[in-house]
Amino acid sequence: MTVLARRDSRADPPAAGGIRARRPLFTARGREAAAGWLMSAPVIVLLLVFLVAPIAMAAWVSVSDWNGIGSPFASGVHAVGGRNYAALLTQPGLPQQQLGESLRNNVYYVIIVVPVQTALALGLAVIVSRKRLAGRGFFRTAYYFPSITSSVAVSILFLYIFGTSGVVNAIVGDLGGHGPNWFDDPNGVLHIILSGLGVTTAPGALANHGFIGLSWWDWLAGPSVAMFALIALAIWTTSGTFMLIFLPAIYAIPSDITEAALMDGANAWQRFRKITLPMLRPALFLVLTLGLIGTWQVFDQIYLISQGNPAGTTLTPAYLSYLTSFGNQQWGQGAAIAFILFAIIVVLAIAQRLIISERRAGGAS
């Protein structure tokens, strides 16, 4: 493989206009290029074997009728075209309904977790970056602790904290309230608010029309109470990690700019709004992108805590893909869900990049 690649790179003429010159192996640059390829070959091979090939195999499985027995490339496996995707996207039925539910749950999860964890991480970073804060090191470590704790341990901890007679409900009880059965309450938060306002049944327009197997009324349910506990968990664990990304970016802001602003009479809020935030834009982009990808792929907390229960309100596409593949042995459909999720993440990441870079261009002009 490497030999082949080397030969290719050598024979290939430079295409970008200018002088067409051969770069044989015995010129200095040619030798450098060959050595470069040779040295990076192990990594490239590893990437191909463990990254590109599995993705290609999964793509094939998503359009095949592979039943999980033997190799997906064996002769008994047939291509079925878009059938697996059609069952999920266009044919009414349980698979479509569950995909719709999982997407709805995950949309609310992302909408709440990403902004809150980013804001919290930024806030924490600003606080612990203050030079005059006593015990800075302690706080930095403390905030980072949830991130380095195993997600299994954190999940089990939250099972107790949000248990029926757990800490959260004990506090709610002390305040005179009555806490819900967190992990067993499938009611959507928006539905609960609406029923508080007297709206308990869906208007016909919302109940009778829908998208991917769910009525609009169900789409508007909001995250369930159970999902809310998972949202709290996600924010608690990830804020520290992202704080760590913001911290060096804050330290990198030249102090003379801040001093100049001070001389001009800018107050703390103005300095944060006009100096810190704009200069943190690259870090902000990184945090938002990582947050977006991480929240769309949420799996381990679901697997450990709720398994999609109650009433499918904590089902996410990643967990649904696992359930379909390993639980139901419908490997094609499971892989198809994974690729639908992949498409969603790619589209959102590109959209986010466009939005942020547009703002940057607008700010510069």
Positions in the binding site for another protein (CB under 8 A): 1-2, 4-5, 8-9, 12-16, 37, 44-45, 48-49, 52-53, 56-57, 67-77, 93-95, 97-98, 163-165, 181, 184, 186, 308-312, 323-324, 326-330
Name every residue whose Cβ is closer than 8 Å to that of residue 167 and which is 6 or more positions away in sequence. 160, 161
CA dihedral 290, 310, 219, 189 (to 10 degrees): -90
Count other Cβ atoms within 10 Å, centred on residue 297. 16
Nearer to another protein, 181 or 255 (CB): 181
Q: What is the 3-state secondary structure (H, E, C) of 105-149?
A: HHHHHHHHHHHHHHHHHHHHHHHHCCCCCCCHHHHHHHHHHHHHC
Closest CB 110 distance from another protein, rounded Å:
23
User: What's at 341, amino acid-wise?
Assistant: L
Output the six-digit token pair for 194: 């609406």
Closest CB 123 distance from another protein, rounded Å:
35
106: left (phi over 0), alpha (psi -120 to 50) or beta: alpha
From residue 297, give the alpha-carbon distance in Å to each of 95, 292, 300. Answer: 19, 9, 9
Nearer to another protein, 24 or 135 (CB): 24
Q: Quick one: which H or E segment has residue 352?
A: helix 331-364
From residue 191, give the alpha-carbon distance in Å to each of 182, 214, 293, 350. Answer: 16, 15, 28, 32
Which DSSP string corresponds to 280-329?
THHHHHHHHHHHHHHHHT--HHIIIIITT-STTTT--HHHHHHIIIIIT-
d(CA 188, CA 197): 14
d(CA 163, CA 209): 36
Nearer to another protein, 72 or 291 (CB): 72
Output the six-digit token pair for 23: 């770069």
Helix, strand, coil shares of the chain, percent, nearest 5, are 70, 0, 30
CA dihedral 89, 92, 94, 98 (to 10 degrees): 40
